[in-house]
Structure 1
Amino acid sequence: MSSSGLDISQLSENEQSALGTYTAVTGQEPSEAIPLLRRSQWNVQIAISKFFDGEGPDPVEEARAALNNPPPPRPARQAQNLMRDDLNAHFSPAPRVDPAPRVETQPENQVVYRPSFIVALLFTPFNLLYRLVWGGFRIFGALFPFLPRFFNSTASNALQGARRNTNGRRALGPQDTAARFIREFEEEYESNSIGFLENGYNMALEKAHRDMKFLLVVLLAPEHDDTSDWVRDTLLSQEVTEFVNDPQNDVLVWGGNVQDSEAYQVSNSLRCTKFPFAAVIVHTPGVSSTAMSVVSRISGTTSPTEFVEKLRTAISQNREPLERIRSTRAEQQASRSLREEQDSAYERSLAIDRERARQRREAEAARQREEQEAAERAVAEEKRIHDLGLWKQWRAQNIAEEPSADLKDAVRISIRLPSGERVIRRFAPDTEIEELYAFVECYDLMTELQEKTTLVEKPKGIEHHYGFRLVSPMPRTVYDVEAGGLIREKVGRGGNLLVEPIDDDSDEEEV
C-alpha cells in the first residue's frame, strides 16, 4: 500500500484481525485504516472512537512539523483595520460545530441482577423511604429549576448513575430500549409517522455516517409539562412529518426517553438544558475527516414552521459537503466494483485456462496410455505368434502318421478349414480328439516338416490354447477338446467337420 508502506500480508495475525474488524464497522479503505490503527496502537475500540468522534492533534507530529517547517518571520509592522475586522466578526460569525459524542451503553448480553425475594423484602422499608425522599427532592427541584442543573454539573458520576438507575425503569440494551420507547410513544400518541430508528444511539450515529444522512435526535421528558403538546402539535404535525419523511432531505430520526440510561447520557453529552429537545447531527468533513458533529440544537417548544425552518437551514448549510463525500464514495465504489469485476473476469479467465490445460493434460495422458497399451498389445501379439510358431513346429513333429488303407477300423474325417479348403484324412480309432485338433492347427506346417529332419524340442513356459472348435453341421455337435475322448467314440467311423474360430462374440452366443 502506498499510504501505509506495508502490505496487508506482512501484518501479524492480530493486526489483520483488528484491521478486518475496523473496516467492517467503519467501511474505510485499508490504506486509510492502517495509519489510524497504528496511531491507536492497534486498539480497535480506540480507532473506531477516533473515526466517529474525530482524532485530536498529535503532539509528537506537531513538534516534528514545527522543527521541519519553522513558521515564517512576522513582519515588523502589521497594519490592521480594527473596525473592519470587528464588523466582519460581528455580522458574519463562524457557525459553531461541536462533535457528536458517543455514549457507553449497556451491552445486549449483560445479565441484570435480581435480588432474591427475602433480600427484597428486607430492603423494602429502605426502598420506600428512599422513594419518598427522592420524590420530595424532585418536587423541590421543580420549584427551583436551577438546582437540578447545578447538581448535574457538580455531582459525581456515581450520584448521576444512581439518579439514572432509580427511576423505576428496567435497564435494557440499546435496541430493546429503543423498541420500548417506540412502543410507549405509539401508545401515548397513537402514531409513529415520524419513523424512529429501532436501534441504539451509537448505531444510529454509525448508520448516519455510513449512509451520509442527517440524524435528528429527539429527547423527550414525560414529566415535562410541554412535552405532550409539543409532540402532538409540532413533532407529529403534517408539515414536520412530510419534511422528515421526504427522501430528498436524507433525515434519520432517533428518539429517546430521558428516564432511560442511554437517552439520559445522550442529553448530558449534547448539553441539553431545556425540554423538549432536538439536535441535528451530520458528518462534517471540514471539521474532521471522520467526526460526526452537532450542527443545530432546537430546545423548548417551537411551532411546526419554526422547527422545519431550523431543520432546513441546518440541512442546506451542510448538504454541499455531504454531496461531495457521496460523489467521492460513489467514485470509490464504482472503482471498487470495476476492480472486483476485473478480478472476477480475470479469475474466470484463469479458471477457463486451467480447465483447458487440465483437459489437454488428460487428453495427452489418455493418448500416451492408448499408445502404450497398443504397443503392449503389439508386443503381446508378437510373442503369441512367436510362441505359437514354436509350439506348432514341435507339435507337428509329434502327430502320428496317417494309417494305411489296410486298417479297416480307421476313422475317415473330412475337415473344412476357415479358408474354404477341404482336407480329408484318416485317423486310427484309438487317437485322442486332441490329436485331431493338433492336426488342424499344424496343417499348414505338415508339408514343410516332412522335408526337414531336425527335431524341435518342446518349448518351455508356453501354455497353448486352440483358437477354434470342431463342429459337426447336421446335427450340430461341438467336439470340445477340453472334454477329451477318442475320435472313434466322438465322431464314429467318419464325419464331416467344420472349423469355427473362437472369439468373444461366439463365446457369448454359446453361453
Structure 2
Amino acid sequence: MSSELDLDQLSESERTALETYMAVTSQETSEAIPLLRRSQWNVQIAISKFFDGEGPDPLEEARSALHQTPPPQPTRRTQNLMTEDLTEQLSRVSRAARATDPAPRVDTQSGDQPVYRPPFILALLFTPFNLVYRLLCSSFRLFGTLFPFLPRLFNATANPALQGARRNTTGRRTLAPKDTAARFIREFEEEYGSHPIPFLENGYNMALEKAHRDLKFLLVVLLAPEHDDTNSWVRDTLLATEVLEFINDPQNNMLVWGGNVQDSEAYQVANSLRVTKFPFAAVVVHTPNVSSTAMSVVGRIAGITSSSEVVNKLRTVVTSNQEPIERLRSSRAEQQASRSLREEQDSAYERSLAIDRERARQRREAEAARQREEQEAVGRQAAEERQRRDLAQWKVWRAQSLSAEPGPDVKDAVRISVRLPSGERIMRKFSPNADMEELYAVVECYEVLQDSEQPKATEPEGFEHQYTFRLVSPMPRTVYPVEEGGSIGEKIGRGGNLLVEPIEEDEDEDGATDMSY
C-alpha cells in the first residue's frame, strides 16, 4: 500500500529515474525508492551504492546531527566538539561540490550559414566610408608595429565590447567547426612538424559528446599564436616524450582537442573556461556523481609548465576520476550485455516463430492440396460415372434408331462379318447406301441389341459420343475410319470380313487413326 502511495506521489522525472534504476538492479520498489531518495534521485549514485555498498553519507550525518536532540546536560566541551565536527563535515561536502566546474558548451556559427550582403546601392554609397575605415585600421596596425606598447594599452583600457569586436578583425575566415579543427591541425603541423598528438577533427561540442559517449578524458588545448611563450611551451612541454606517451597510452583513455584563440570557436571556449593565462590546457570528463549527463572541468594547466608537471597533473586527474568512470563503464557494459542478450533472445524467438509460421504454412498448403486432390478425384469419379451412364443411355437410344436389316428380297445387300476382341462374330446385312457410322453403331450397340427388352431411351443431353475402336480389313490391311464417312457399299463392296481394333489413348492423341497401307 505504501509503494502505491509513493508511486502516485512521484514526479515524471522521478518515475523515469526509478524505472532506469530498477531495470539495472532489479530491486523491489519498496527498497528502491528510499535509496533513490537518499541519493537525491541521482540514478548513477544510487546504482553505485547498490553494487558497491552504501557507506556513511557525511552530509546526511551532518543534517541529522543538526536536528538530533542533544543528550541531557551536555558539557561545553561536548557541544564544541559536535559543532567542530559538523563544521568540518559541511566544509568537506562543500569542497567536494566545488572540486569540479561544469564544462560549458559554445554556440558556433555554421559554415554554410548565408552571409548578409547589403544591396548594391547601399554598398556603393558606403564605399568611401569603407575605404577610410580600412585606411585607419592599416594606420593603427602600423603604429602598433612601431610602438608595441600601444596594443597592450588599448587592451587594458578598452571595454569588453570593443575587445570582442577586435577579435573579429583578425582576418581569419570563419569556418564550420569541423573545418576550423582541420585548419588548426594543418597549421599546427606546418608550425611544429609531424607529431603523434591525436587531435580530434571536429568541433568542441562534438568532442564533448564523444568524450561523454565513450567515457574518456578530453584534453582541451588552447593556443594563442601571438603569445611569446606559445612556441616554447608546445615544443618543450606539449610535444615532450613523456607527455606524448601519457596522452597516447590507451589505459589513460585520453582524447585531445585543440584550438587557436584567433578562431571564433576557440575564443568562445577560452571565454567560457575563464582562461586568464596562455598557453592553456584543461581536462574535461563525465562526472556521474554530479548528474547523469554532466561534463566537468577536473583539471587546469595554465602558463609555462614543465613536461613533468603536466604529466603529474594529468596522472592525478585521471587517477582521481578513474574509479567512477570505471563503475559507469562497467554499468554500461552490463546494460549492453543485457541488451545484447535480450536482442539475441528476441532474434532467436523471431527465428523460431518464423520456422513455426513456415511449418504452419506448409501444413496449410499440404491440407489445401489434399482437399483439392480429393475434390478433383470426386469430380473425376462423378464425371466418369456420368460418362458411363450417358454412354449406356446413348447405346440404348442408338440401338433403337438403327435401320432394320435388309430382307432376302434385297439383292445388292452388303453382308459383313465383324470379329470382336472377345472372339465373337457379328453377322449382319446392310443396305449398300447405309453410312459407315451405321456399321460402327451396330458394333458399339451389340450388347444392347442382344437384349430385346430394353426400355425406350432418348439421346442424352450434352453428350458427345466417340468411338473407341476402328474397323480394319485384315487381308489386305485396310482401315475404315468412321470420320471419313461414306457408304458401306462404296467402302467395303458386296461383303467383307472386318476386325475390331481398340484405339489406344496415346495413339488417339497422336492422331494415328489412319493406318492404311
TM range (shorter): 0.7 to 0.9
Q: Which residue of 2 aligns with 1:410?
A: 413
Deviation at 1:304, TM superposition (A): 1.4
Q: Which residue of 1 aligns with 2:80?
A: 79
Matched, 1:246 2:236: no
Aligned residue in 1 for 2:160: 155
- Identify the residue that residue 60 of structure 2 maps to in structure 1: none
Change (3 A) 1:192 1:444: farther
CA 1:288 to 1:436, structure 2 compared with 1: closer, same or farther past 3 Å? Answer: same
Kept in 2, the 8 Å contact 1:471–1:479? The answer is yes
State the AA in 2 paired with 1:320: E
Structure 1 residue 83, shift from structure 2 partner: 7.0
Q: 1:257 to 1:145 in 2, by over 3 A?
A: same
* CA distance in 2 between partners of 1:110 and 1:29 (Å): 39
- Bigger Cα displacement from structure 2, 413-422 vs 160-169: 413-422
Sort the Cα spacing of 1:126 and 1:376 in 2 relative to 1 into closer, same or farther, 3 A. same
Q: Which residue of 2 aligns with 1:25?
A: none
Of 496, 499, 510, 2:498 maps to: 496
* Counterpart amino acid of residue 364 in structure 1: E
In the alignment, is residue 124 of structure 1 matched against residue 131 of structure 2? yes
Q: Residues 80, 491 of structure 1: CA spacing in aligned structure 2 closer, same or farther, 3 A cutoff? A: farther
Asked if 1:235 is matched to 2:242, the reply is no
| Residues 84, 446 of structure 1: alpha-carbon distance in 2 compared, 3 angstrom cutoff | closer
Query: Which runs of no fewer than 5 residues in structure 1 stay unpaired?
Result: 7-27, 34-50, 52-68
Contact 1:469–1:500, Cα closer than 8 Å, also in 2:
yes
CA distances 1:393-438 after superposition (whole Å, capped 9, x unpaired):
1111122334456655333444343445444443222110111121
| Partners of 1:125 and 1:489 in 2: CA distance | 131
Gaps of 5+ in 2: 9-15, 22-41, 43-62
| Cα distance change, pair 372–224 in 1 and its aligned pair in 2 (3 A) | same
Shift of 1:501: 2.8
Inter-CA distance 267–109: structure 2 relative to 1 (3 Å threshold): same
Query: Which moves more between the two structures, 69-78 or 210-219?
Result: 69-78
TM-superposed CA distance for 1:496, in Å, is 2.5
Matched AA of 1:171 = T
Alpha-carbon offset, residue 482 of structure 1: 3.0
Q: CA deviation at 1:259?
A: 0.7
Letter in 2 for 1:166: T
Query: Counterpart of 1:206 in structure 2: which amino acid?
Result: E
Q: Which deviates more, 93-102 or 370-379?
A: 93-102
- Report whether the alignment pairs 1:296 with 2:305: no
- What code does the residue aligned with 2:378 have? A
Distance in 2 of aligned mates of 1:73 and 1:85: 12
Q: Is the 8 A contact 2:155 2:163 kept in 1?
A: no
- Counterpart of 2:195 in structure 1 is 192
Show the counterpart of 1:257: 260
Contact 1:99 1:292 in 2 (8 A): yes
- Residue 98 of structure 1 deviates from its aligned partner by 0.2
Could you tell me how far 1:131 is from its partner in structure 2? Answer: 4.8
What corresponds to 1:316 in structure 2? 319
Give the conservation status (yes or no) of the 8 Å contact 1:219–1:257. yes
Report the Cα offset of residue 321 of structure 1.
0.5
Task: Provide the rounded CA distance (Å) in 2 between the counterparts of 1:394 and 1:430.
Answer: 22
- In structure 1, the residue corresponding to 2:218 is in which secondary structure? strand
Where does residue 52 of structure 2 map in the other structure?
A: none
Greater shift, 75-84 or 332-341, is seen at 75-84
Q: Is the 8 A contact 2:111 2:174 kept in 1?
A: no
**Where does residue 340 of structure 1 map in the other structure?**
343
Classify 1:195/1:150 alpha carbon distance in 2 versus 1 (closer, same or farther; 3 Å): farther
2:467 is aligned to 466
After superposition, give the CA deviation of every residue in 1:282-310 in whole Å (9 maximum; x if it has no partner): 00111222100000000112211111111
Q: Which whole-Å CA distance do the structure 2 matches of 1:474 and 1:178 have between them?
A: 110
- Cα shift at 1:470: 3.3
Distance 1:302 1:483 in 2: 121
Percent identity of equivalent pairs: 61
Q: For the Cα contact (< 8 Å) 2:469–2:500, is it kept in 1?
A: no
C-alpha separation between the residues in 1 aligned to 2:331 and 2:382?
75
- Counterparts in 2 of 1:311 and 1:361: CA distance versus 1, 3 Å: same
The Cα of 1:503 is off from its aligned counterpart by 2.2
Partner of 2:38: none
Contact map agreement 2:393 2:458 (CA 8 A) in 1: no
Write the deviation string for residues 211-260 of structure 1: whole angstroms up to 9, x where unpaired: 01000001111111111111111112221111111111100000111111
Which residue of the partner structure matches residue 508 of structure 1?
A: 510
Where 1:510 maps in the other structure, the secondary structure is: coil
Residue pair 1:234, 1:304 contacting (<8 A) in 2 also: yes
Relative to structure 1, the CA distance from residue 113 to residue 510 in structure 2 (aligned partners, 3 Å threshold; closer, same or farther) is: farther
2: CA distance between counterparts of 1:245 and 1:116?
A: 53
CA 1:390/1:150 → structure 2, altered by over 3 Å: closer, same or farther? farther
Are 2:399 and 1:392 equivalent residues in the alignment? no
- The answer as to whether partners of 1:471 and 1:500 remain within 8 angstroms in 2 is no
What residue is the counterpart of 1:269 in the other structure?
272
- For residues 6-41 of structure 1, give each alpha carbon's deviation from its aligned partner in whole angstroms, at most 9, with x where no partner exists: 9xxxxxxxxxxxxxxxxxxxxx999659xxxxxxxx
Q: Secondary structure at the match of 2:501?
A: strand
Q: CA deviation at 1:332?
A: 0.2
The answer for the alignment partner of 1:326 in structure 2 is 329
8 A Cα contact 1:471 1:498, kept in partner? yes
Pairs within 5 Å for 1:198-209 = 198-209=201-212
Aligned to 1:356: 359
Question: In the aligned structure 2, how far is the partner of 1:326 from the partner of 1:474?
Answer: 106
Deviates more, 1:300-309 or 1:409-418: 409-418
Determine helix, strand or coil for the equivalent of 1:445.
Answer: helix
SS at match of 1:465: coil
Please give the alpha-carbon distance, in whole angstroms, between the structure 1 residues aligned to 2:18 and 2:410.
Answer: 110
Q: Which residue of 1 aligns with 2:378?
A: 375
Structure 1 position 500, deviation (Å): 2.1
Aligned residue for 1:259, secondary structure, equals coil
Q: Deviations over 1:160-212 (max 9, x none)?
A: 65333221111111111111111111111111310100001111000001001
Q: Is the 8 A contact 1:416 1:497 kept in 2?
A: yes
Residues 497/84 of structure 1: CA separation in 2 closer, same or farther (3 Å cut)? closer
Aligned equivalent of 1:480: 481
- Paired AA for residue 210 in structure 1: R
Distance 1:180 1:29, change over 3 A: farther
Aligned-pair CA distance for 1:465 = 2.8
User: Is residue 413–residue 497 contact of structure 1 (8 Å, CA) maintained in 2?
Assistant: no
Relative to 1, partners in 2 of residues 1:97 and 1:490: Cα closer, same or farther, differing over 3 Å? same
Distance change in 2, residues 1:457/1:86 (3 Å): closer
TM-score by length of 1: 0.77
Shift of 1:275: 0.9
User: 1:467-492 CA deviation, whole Å, 9 max, x = no partner?
Assistant: 33334566665433233211222233
Contact 2:174 2:263 in 1 (8 A): yes
Letter in 2 for 1:348: R
Q: How many residues align?
A: 446
User: For residues 150 and 98 of structure 1, what CA distance do their matches in structure 2 show?
Assistant: 30
